[in-house]
Structure 1
Amino acid sequence: MIRLSLLLLLLSRPAYSMLLGWVESPGYPTGYLPHASMNWSRCAQKGHTLSIKLIHLDLEDSHDCENDAVKVFSNGNLISVLCGKREFEELQSTVNPSLLSSPGGCLSLTFHSDYSNTERHTGFRGFYSEQDFDECKDDPDNGCTQFCHNYIGGYHCSCRHGYYLDVDKHTCTVSCSKDLSGLYNGDISSPSWPASYADNANCQYTLSVEATLQLELHFSEDFDVEQSPDGQCIDALSIETPSGILGPFCGHTLPPSPFLTHSHRVKIRFTSDGFGTNKGFSLHFKTRDKVCPAVVTSHSTVTPQQPEYHEGETVTVTCDLGYVVNTDGNQTLSNQYVAICQNTGVWTPNYVCEPVDCGLPDIPEGGILQLVDSDNIHSQYKDQIQFNCSSTYYTLEGDDLYTCSAIGEWVSGGGETEMPKCIEVCGKPEKYRVARILGGEDAKLGEIPWHLLIKEPNRGGASLINDRWAVTAAHVVETAEETSLRLYGGLVDGKTIRDRFSNVVIMDSERIIIHPDYNKGTPCSTSNFDNDIALIRLASRVNLGPNLLPICLPEVNSVDEQGTVSGWGKAESKTGSVKLYTSALLKYAHIGAYPLTKCQDTPSAPTANERMTFTNNMFCAGADGKDSCQQDSGSPFVSPMLTEGNEPYHLTGIVSWGPPCEEKQYKGYYTKVANYVDWIKETIDTVEKSKKGER
């Protein structure tokens, strides 16, 4: 009869079945074989744990159980490694208590033996079972703030009288929220006032009256809301109006009393945590006519200044320095407006004073000048931007740091509003060679990087003076069409132009500007080369590099006695004969300027009996066995001499004319560039401004 009752009791249990049974090594109890292994795993149901209780353990003993071993894992984490022989009492006291899963977790077990044993070992046996996990007793983080009730597979929380269970089903709180709309006066206090307020309180008191009235709060002096030693609010009182949230208030410091809310709608919130014995707060509320506040909008001042304003009174609102009026989403240039106090306690209009926005600076896209950290630019009042040049072949002219000013302009530390410029580094070749055209040396690539070659319509040279302009002799380009002239740079061997794999830079002209006072003609029909200078605007900017760099312009009216002339013109035969040939390689020679008297002794014109004209816009130069020659026209004469350490170099002269090289007078005439610096700069500036206007 007892067995039958027990059977009926088991059948009447909940639908799920308890997890229990035996786990043992292969061949137990007769002994396991070499190379034996097994894997076992079980998982507990939600709210339950799974345990293994070993009743027998007899395995080969080894260091760190490296031979034969049984390993137990909880949710994949190793919790026990066993080997050797253990008595039942030791298993019960030191091993089995740790073979336990987490609630709803899994236990797994592995066993292995090595290749041989010196004696027979019976193995292991254990009993596994599932049991309910008591969250109320064994889980300190169950979350119940008052009462915890355990049941098989879970738990639930409950509260003392006067509290209710919050939506999280764990926190006990009090019912303290009230809607007091329509009341013109009354009292509000923390729960249980004047006794200590309840734990986990979350109270909201709603007040609402006519729009022409405002609510006035009077706090009692017994203000006591929990505060941390460092002044942070643990429990808190806050006052919410349509214009914002005031507070939080805590400690023993009373909010201003009477507290003018300037609103006919107010929400008073009070929250507390699960600890503390503070008293709380109490207040009396009533109503009065609305007045307008002393502040119309932030970042502004008002005139006249009063603590409060009544219906119909007007003020002038002045935005702070660096702020302007925003009317309906549009920033204006004004920083003032007039506002009128309404009977509802609001100012009309009530525009916003917002920071002046300078916008992004106007710099050309894809140019050398660039903003530092351009993806993180802020352009409001007092924000700063920084410039640099994207290429090492340029230097920044002007300040690099600009600040957004109160008038909406970017201003540098020096007071400049014009953006800085990236100016080409000029006259500084990266390659040098100390050495001593007719009688000249072959130049190496990069030694004279500003020298450009012109092949048609007249063979000659030109000098790069920035990344968009070149200068040459007027007579070299006077017959060329403005957009058909082609120049070559970044080379010393003219034959490489035909090599499609070379790094020669090919430049096309966009405009040719010959000096307006140049005496036009041809070398064979004129005796006057005064003002023999022309500017060439390239069709696109060139990419500067070690083999293509500009030469500096000289100072106005500067004089240099020594220099270096270079060119692809006629050169003297190596045999020393008078026979000349056109050089494929760029040659250069160091020469000096001659005295004025020698320059005035000019040769005769090629096709006339009159002598060539020498003017103050020229100088002549040469040296024994060294001179410029035919087809060098337009090429540069730079000063000082092209030797290491003399940089920067300046374009002192342009090869213009001279006696035939066959006569070996070694005296060439050069356009004096110092006399034309102002014309060059003014012409370039005028053209670039017109181009910018076209865009």
Structure 2
Amino acid sequence: MGTSRWLLLALLGCVSADSPPMFGEITSPNYPQGYHDNAKESWDVQVPEGYGIRLYFIHLDIEPSGGCEYDSLKVVIGGAVQDTLCGRNLGGVPGHPIKEAYYPSNTLKLLFTSDFSNQEQYTGFSAYYIAVDVDECDDSSINPCSHFCNNYIGGYFCSCPPEYDLHDDQHTCGVNCSGGQYTEQRGQISSPGYPSPYPENSLCEYKVLLEPGYQVILKFQPTDFDVEEANDGSCSYDSLTIKAKGDTFGPFCGKKTPPPLIETRSYEVDIIFQTDSGGDNKGWKLHYYEDAIPCPDQVTENSILEPQNDKYIFKDMVTVRCEEGFEMVTGDKKITSFMAKCQADGTWSNSHLQCQPVDCGDPEETDFGEVTFESSTYQSEAKYNCKSDYYSLLGEDTYHCSLDGIWVNSKGQNDPPICKPVCGKTTLQPQSRIYGGSPAENGYFPWVIHFPSGNLGGGALISDQWVLTAAHVVQDQDQPRIRAGDVIHRNGVELVAKKVIIHPRWITGDIENRQNYDNDIALVQLSRRVEMGPCICPVCLPKNIAVSSPDIDEVGYVAGWGRSSDKKAKTAKLQYAPVSVRKTEDCKKSVVTNQVFTENMICAGGDGKDSCQGDSGGPLMFRYSSEEVKDNRLYLGGIVSWGLECGQFGMYTRVSNYLEWIKETIEKTEKEDGEQEAEPLKICK
């Protein structure tokens, strides 16, 4: 090496005390003596950043082998082997290296290894390295700068043409085209340099800011748009995007013009133009102008505005009402209308108030009935019907949801219809021929009940909670025992009496020697309503029949568990017999005592057919003969009251004379009781 080169190395080595050295020397172990067997040595070589490394070998004597398999010196950069050296090269021109190599990296590793034998005493190697400046600007694979690259010893820097700025990455140049704000009522905005090609690597942001209450209208001409698009047709290279009041229009690119007219519905609009490092397109131009921001023609869905205008703009005031079938609810309060104002951003004040469908909720249920409906909103229809043939619907069956939010029938009534028990249903056929007393079957007289204690007797169910009987049967009992639901009284279900109400003109006294049975009638209220069915249902009251009914000689039925004329013990199974209505004079002629006869009594029986002890309070029943009743029914004409001798004429309380008292007493008592909460008692299986 000449004197000048060593002088250069000396100067380079003095660059900085803190920097890696600019040169150095490396020799194999035990050089220049022969290296040992199984040697393994490595050297890390590093020069300052911005430099590469050049290696010079002045001696190379390493055992040769195919592929340097025995002994070798390897040059490693970043974990990859760049060169592998071996063999004997001792000659050369003095002052010149026998081998040199350049590596464009400021770090590398030298790795020397030998195997188990060094028979000829190979001496190894001697080398030195120097730092060599890297020209980054000349390396096209690096391409460090978007525009101008400037190299210097140990590094490089990027620079930009006029009107461009160097970005923070210190590599990319772009135009500073942001910050433009437009406040005039109308104007024009374009990409930088339009119609010349726009700059690359740029982010241009423009803002249009008008007075509140006005919106920005953007207008594009077909020939004023040319923005680079990606090969797949997307806008991933360059793009124009418009943002206004939470809405985004775009991104737009290519040669296809955006919508010719964009109503932004905002007085504040941001226009964002972004470009990458390539392309040669001319860019874009648009015009903008202001227009009053319109408010929607509805403040809320299903609403009506007053006054009705073709267009509503900033500061317009309207009165808002709901369309028919809708209502406004705020909290738990309904309102009929409210005021709204068109605001600067094109929205209405009070738009949170909603017109929701009038909803009547589920129709009210009715006992022993069911209601079907598909919807509960305005004008929806609900249909009522009773669950069984033992009830009939009292009232209209069809209701609709009204504007007031309640279910009403055609008369505007909102109380649901009532499933009223069907009275007088009997399986006893009219054509049946009866001779004397006969045992009754279930279904003949399902209203007959039995009082098994006290003054033994019977009664008749006249509704789902009331029993009609004779006053003298229950005059001494506040809560008499009651059985019902089967012709064999022991098989009947025990019912609980709640209240006994005796006719106010009944004179309480001894039954044995009693002569006055006038007003022998009483009501017993059950503690729970009874569900009607084939084993129990009420008998009809004499409604809409002649005052004189039943007629003289009309045949009715009397039923009970009392004694018969030829049998001293009461029967286990309900017995019934046909009896004919007689003139009261016939009964008077048979009486030798001072018994009282009144218009409140019916005379019936004779010919060995009569009620007897234990039948008191039981029903005297007649068939309906009315155009209103087409099926087989019985009504309660009388109540077994008194008689002289079983099988002779008997006297019955005339029920038709007490209809008003029955009705008023039941209504008053049930009103005092209030709503019935207990589930109805189901007797029939």
Asked whether the two chains share a fold, i.e. TM above 0.5, the reply is yes
Secondary structure of the 1:571 match is: coil
Contact 2:327 2:356 in 1 (8 A): yes
Number of the residue aligned with 2:633 = 648
Number of the residue aligned with 1:541 = 529
Secondary structure of the 2:657 match is: helix
Q: Which of 416, 421, 424 is the matching residue for 1:424?
A: 421
Number of the residue aligned with 2:360 = 358
Number of the residue aligned with 1:684 = 666
Residue type matched to 1:511 in 2? Answer: K
Q: 1:333 offset after TM fit, Å?
A: 3.3
What pairs up with 1:466-615 in 2 under 5 angstroms?
A: 466-481=463-478, 484-494=479-489, 497=490, 502=491, 504-555=492-543, 558=546, 559-560=549-550, 561-573=554-566, 580-599=568-587, 601=589, 603=591, 611-615=594-598
Number of the residue aligned with 1:443 = 440
Number of the residue aligned with 1:275 = none
Secondary structure of the 2:446 match is: coil
What pairs up with 1:268-287 in 2 under 5 angstroms?
A: 286-287=289-290
Say how many residue pairs are matched. 434
1:347-390 alpha-carbon deviations (Å, 9 max, x no partner)? 332321112222233436xx4122337xxx63222222222223
Q: Which deviates more, 472-481 or 296-305?
A: 296-305
- CA distance in 2 between counterparts of 1:637 and 1:207 reads 100
Q: 1:461 offset after TM fit, Å?
A: 0.5
Q: 1:587 offset after TM fit, Å?
A: 1.2
1:115-163 alpha-carbon deviations (Å, 9 max, x no partner)? xxxxxxxxxxxxxxxxxxxxxxxxxxxxxxxxxxxxxxxxxxxxxxxxx
1:603-642 alpha-carbon deviations (Å, 9 max, x no partner)? 355xxxxx22222222111142211112211101111289
Relative distance call for 1:207 and 1:363 in structure 2 (3 A) is farther
Relative distance call for 1:340 and 1:629 in structure 2 (3 A) is same
Q: 1:326 offset after TM fit, Å?
A: 2.0
Structure 1 gaps of 5+ residues are 1-178, 189-205, 223-238, 247-255, 269-281, 574-578, 606-610
Q: Considering only aligned residues, what root-mean-square deviation do their CA atoms show, in Å?
A: 4.3
Contact 2:434 2:578 in 1 (8 A): no
Q: 1:536 offset after TM fit, Å?
A: 1.6
Relative distance call for 1:571 and 1:337 in structure 2 (3 A) is same
Relative distance call for 1:181 and 1:291 in structure 2 (3 A) is farther
Relative distance call for 1:449 and 1:220 in structure 2 (3 A) is farther
Number of the residue aligned with 1:629 = 612
Number of the residue aligned with 1:404 = 401
Residue type matched to 1:616 in 2? Answer: E
Relative distance call for 1:293 and 1:567 in structure 2 (3 A) is same
Q: 1:565 offset after TM fit, Å?
A: 0.9
1:186-221 alpha-carbon deviations (Å, 9 max, x no partner)? 999xxxxxxxxxxxxxxxxx9996793454658899
Residue type matched to 1:338 in 2? Answer: M
Contact 1:439 1:625 in 2 (8 A): yes
What pairs up with 1:255-404 in 2 under 5 angstroms?
A: 286-327=289-330, 330=331, 332-350=333-351, 351-363=353-365, 367-372=367-372, 378-404=375-401
- CA distance in 2 between counterparts of 1:449 and 1:478 reads 25
Secondary structure of the 1:347 match is: coil
Secondary structure of the 2:671 match is: helix
Secondary structure of the 1:342 match is: coil
- CA distance in 1 between counterparts of 2:568 and 2:619 reads 21
- CA distance in 2 between counterparts of 1:510 and 1:240 reads 79
Number of the residue aligned with 2:236 = none
1:92-112 alpha-carbon deviations (Å, 9 max, x no partner)? xxxxxxxxxxxxxxxxxxxxx
Contact 1:602 1:613 in 2 (8 A): no
Contact 1:599 1:614 in 2 (8 A): no
Contact 2:307 2:319 in 1 (8 A): yes
Secondary structure of the 2:425 match is: coil
Relative distance call for 1:562 and 1:694 in structure 2 (3 A) is closer
Contact 1:401 1:412 in 2 (8 A): yes
Contact 1:262 1:292 in 2 (8 A): no
- CA distance in 2 between counterparts of 1:245 and 1:525 reads 105
Contact 1:435 1:441 in 2 (8 A): no
Secondary structure of the 1:372 match is: strand
Q: 1:480 offset after TM fit, Å?
A: 0.7
- CA distance in 2 between counterparts of 1:590 and 1:257 reads 101
Residue type matched to 2:344 in 1? Answer: N
Relative distance call for 1:556 and 1:261 in structure 2 (3 A) is farther
- CA distance in 1 between counterparts of 2:268 and 2:465 reads 69
Relative distance call for 1:646 and 1:580 in structure 2 (3 A) is farther
- CA distance in 2 between counterparts of 1:564 and 1:688 reads 31
Contact 2:210 2:216 in 1 (8 A): no
- CA distance in 1 between counterparts of 2:384 and 2:454 reads 43
Q: Which protein has the larger Cα radius of gyration, Structure 1 or Structure 2? A: 2
Residue type matched to 1:389 in 2? Answer: C
Q: 1:454 offset after TM fit, Å?
A: 0.8
Number of the residue aligned with 1:672 = 654
Residue type matched to 1:492 in 2? Answer: V
Contact 2:363 2:371 in 1 (8 A): no
- CA distance in 1 between counterparts of 2:180 and 2:437 reads 103
- CA distance in 1 between counterparts of 2:350 and 2:542 reads 63
- CA distance in 2 between counterparts of 1:647 and 1:460 reads 27
1:422-456 alpha-carbon deviations (Å, 9 max, x no partner)? 11122112454854499411112222111111111
Contact 1:438 1:625 in 2 (8 A): no
Contact 1:556 1:675 in 2 (8 A): no
- CA distance in 1 between counterparts of 2:603 and 2:621 reads 13
Q: 1:521 offset after TM fit, Å?
A: 2.2
Number of the residue aligned with 1:228 = none
Q: 1:304 offset after TM fit, Å?
A: 2.1
Contact 1:438 1:629 in 2 (8 A): no
Contact 1:438 1:572 in 2 (8 A): no
Relative distance call for 1:587 and 1:265 in structure 2 (3 A) is farther
- CA distance in 1 between counterparts of 2:500 and 2:290 reads 85
Relative distance call for 1:493 and 1:263 in structure 2 (3 A) is same
Contact 2:327 2:334 in 1 (8 A): yes
1:460-495 alpha-carbon deviations (Å, 9 max, x no partner)? 0111122222111111111112xx32211222234x
Secondary structure of the 2:564 match is: strand
1:555-581 alpha-carbon deviations (Å, 9 max, x no partner)? 1563123311111112022xxxxx633
Secondary structure of the 1:572 match is: coil
Secondary structure of the 2:420 match is: strand
Structure 2 gaps of 5+ residues are 1-177, 190-205, 223-241, 250-258, 272-284, 678-685
Q: 1:331 offset after TM fit, Å?
A: 5.0
Q: Which deviates more, 619-628 or 522-531?
A: 522-531
- CA distance in 1 between counterparts of 2:314 and 2:667 reads 62
Number of the residue aligned with 1:201 = none
- CA distance in 1 between counterparts of 2:521 and 2:644 reads 19
Residue type matched to 1:528 in 2? Answer: N
